[in-house]
Structures are given as C-alpha cells and as structure tokens.
Amino acid sequence: MPHNGIPPEVVDDILALVKDDTRTLLSCCRASRGFDARARPLLYDTLTITYLSSPSGRIPSALLSRSSAVLVDTLLTRPSLARECRALHITSRIKTDADLVRLRTEPTVESIRELCELVPNVEEFVCCAFEDYLIALILEANISRVLGALTCWSTTLSNVALGNLTEEALPFILSKTRLDSLKVGKITTKHPLPASLAAPFSLSSLTCSTLSEDVFLAGTASSHTSLTSLSTCFTLPVERLLAPFANLTRLTLDFNEYENHGLDACHERIAALRSYLARDIRLRELTLRQDDGDPRRGRQSLFDGPLPRKLQRFVCAPWYIDARIILQTVAMCRQPCKVGDSEEGPRWPETLKELRLTTSSRSYGPLRKEDKEQIQKACLSQGISQVHFVNLAGGTDVEA
C-alpha cells in the first residue's frame, strides 16, 4: 500500500480538496514519489498562458511571460504531463516593471497552433480578458485562424469562452459533439447560415451579447431540452425563439446596444419583452444588464414589471441606484399590472424571494446606509427576504 499506508483513493480525495492551491500541490510533490505521481498531474490540469504587452511601443506587440514560457517548455519535454491538461486559458495583460518575458515568443498563428496541438485532451478552452485592445485584436484574429484549421479536441471539448467568434472559426465550434457551454462576446458571419444547418451538440448554457437569429437557430437546434441558461442581446426575439426550450430557467438580457438602435425599434422590443416576461412560467432567474449608459433609458419599464410568474431571483447589473425609484417599485410590486388590454396579476410574483442590485465605478454612486435599510425593510414587507447590494469595484457591499 503506497503513501506510507494511506490508500491511494484517500490520497486522491485529499488532493482534490487542494487542486486549486498551487503552493500546496508543490509541497505534496516534494513529500514523496507516491504523492508526486498523483499531485503533479493536478498542477497541469489547468494551463494559463499569458502574453505581456508593452504600453510604450509604437507597434503593438506581446511576448510570453517567463513563467508561461517555462510551462510550455516543460510540456514539450514531458508529453505525459501535456496529456493531463484539461483546461487551456490564453490571456494577455499589460507588462509591469516586475514582469519577465521571453524574447521571440510573439502570439503568431504557428506558435498558438503548436500550443493547442501540444495538449490533446482539452475540455475547456478560454481565450478572453485582454487588457490591451490592439493586442486583443491580434490575438483574436490569430486564434480564429488556428481554430479554423484545428482538428484536435473533437471528442473532449465541452466548454468554450471566446471574445469574438468569426465565420472562419465557426466550423470548429459546430463540429464539437460534446460542447456543453459556449460563451462569446460576438458571433459574426458574412452570409446567413443555411436553415438546414444544425449543431450536433446539446448546450446547457449559451452566452453571447451579439447574436443573429440564424446563428441562434443553428447553434441550438439540438438543445431544446438541455438549454437551461441563456444570455443574449435584448434585440433577439426571445418571445418567438424560446418556445421550444422547455427547461430554460435563467435568462440574461443585455442592453449595452440599446443606444445604437432606433428609438421606435427599441420601444417595440421593450413592449414585446414586457408581454413575454409577463406570461412566462419557466424562468426562475432574470438578469437585466447594461454596463454603459443610463439604464433608466430602456430597461426601467422592465424593472417595474410585470416579471415571470415563477421568478425567484431578480438581478440588475449594473444599475442606476436611485433609492426613491426602487422604493416606489417595491411598494407597488404586488399590485396588478396590465400588459396591453389584459390584466396579468401582480408586477412581481409571490415566488420572488431575492433581489440583487449591482453598481459599478461608472454608476451614480453607492446608496447611503439608511437608503439600503429602507429598501431592505420595504422588500421584507413584500415577502422578499434576500436583498443584495453589490459593488463591482469593491465586492459585495451588503447582503441581507
């Protein structure tokens, strides 16, 4: 019995508790050969490759951080560790004075392809969160070219997060039979997809801030029973497209593009969304998101209700924090609300028990302590027992 009499399955259970703690895993590797054999693969379970960009150069450029370069060298010399990698994250940030880089390690198509082919068993591929805009454009363009010709991960890839998904990389995504979660900022195609095109995977979660109707239909053709979470732009006609998705319980509507559309078109979409939400009986969580601009323009009428009939959690992130408006809405949340000529019951359903309001550094400032106490008291009187005020810049401010 290895590990000084400790059964190997017990060792695996212990290591599973610290699999995200690199320092502890390194200590376990040094403990004994038995521990090393089981702990070292966990060190390479998630690979984070970081490119550092210089803010002072005229021509945008980025180089591998020294730690990332050493990591790649290790995998090249020990392929058995490369096969242990289950998650590959590619990111970039602006170089600081304390950072070290390796020369001649630019994020070219060839180097990115070599990196992807080095790890054959990837289940999660994340390529986003770039600090430098110009470097982000270079990385996203090169990664799209790599994905367009990549043949690996066909039977392993289940989770993808990209900044943008171009038409060049779309066949790569549509060929992954085990894909379960897809998160992209924008999907762009030069030509409409054929109506007969159907993705072979069954998604449980889809996040895309800009999504056309034809791409949505093709990407979710096999996900009618599996899709439980959707985040998309408010312009997508969800009232017409979401009928087949019987198990959809979480919906996020993104209003960041609100001011880029005509006023009449926006009003029509808001009216259609109000009618859809008032009649929906599937949603348990609804999020209204608008990172830029004033949310009073556009989604304020959705905040007033009516909300889905079985909603349990309502999130506004970020939100224009005005105590007076919130208190007025909460005071009337159980009153009947009309949509068109029909009466649809209370604005907020009796099932709603949690309200989360999020502010950011660009918002109009945090609420005062006394305002928060008044809102919490008003919500409690209406049966809403959980009220959260969250500051994106400083973490959770108040939870009640």
pLDDT of residue 37: 83
pLDDT of residue 146: 94
pLDDT of residue 293: 59
Triad 18, 24, 99: Cα angle to 5°: 110
* Residue whose C-alpha is closest to residue 329's, from 360, 363, 295: 295
78, 159, 255, 186 alpha-carbon torsion, rounded to 10°: 70
Report, as an integer, the average pLDDT of 296-320: 80
- Could you tell me the two tokens for 4? 């000084």
192 prior amide bond cis, ω within 30:
no
Statement: residue 324 has pLDDT above 90: no
* Residue whose C-alpha is closest to residue 218's, from 182, 193, 243, 241: 193
The answer to whether the beta carbons of residues 243 and 221 sit under 8 Å apart is no
Report, as an integer, the average pLDDT of 327-355: 81
Statement: residue 180 has pLDDT above 50: yes
Higher pLDDT, 164 or 129: 164
pLDDT of residue 39: 84
- Rounded distance between C-alpha atoms, residue 35 and residue 102, angstroms: 32
pLDDT-derived band at 1 (thresholds 50, 70, 90) equals very low
The answer to whether the beta carbons of residues 175 and 155 sit under 8 Å apart is no
pLDDT, one tens digit per residue, over 208-248 is 988 888 889 888 999 999 999 999 999 899 999 999 999 99
Report, as an integer, the average pLDDT of 293-315: 79
**228-400 maps to CATH 1.10.238:** no
pLDDT of residue 197: 79
Statement: residue 141 has pLDDT above 60: yes
Whose tokens are 């028990």? That residue is 353
pLDDT-derived band at 171 (thresholds 50, 70, 90) equals confident
Report, as an integer, the average pLDDT of 150-162: 93
pLDDT of residue 387: 92
pLDDT, one tens digit per residue, over 55-86 is 665 556 788 999 899 989 989 998 998 999 99
Residues in the chain: 400
The H or E element containing residue 138 is helix 133-149
pLDDT-derived band at 394 (thresholds 50, 70, 90) equals very low
- Rounded distance between C-alpha atoms, residue 158 and residue 200, angstroms: 12
Is the whole-model pTM more than 0.95? no
Statement: residue 278 has pLDDT above 60: yes
- Could you tell me the two tokens for 11? 């060792």
Statement: residue 319 has pLDDT above 90: no
pLDDT of residue 60: 64
Statement: residue 125 has pLDDT above 90: yes
- Could you tell me the two tokens for 70? 């050493």
- Could you tell me the two tokens for 337? 């609300």
pLDDT, one tens digit per residue, over 7-53 is 888 888 888 888 878 788 888 888 888 888 888 888 889 999 999 98
Any idea where the domains of the chain sit in the sequence?
1-43, 44-157, 228-400
The DSSP annotation for 169-232 comes to: THHHHHT-TT--EEEEEEE--SSPPPTT---SS--SEEEEEE--HHHHHHHTTT-TTT--EEEE
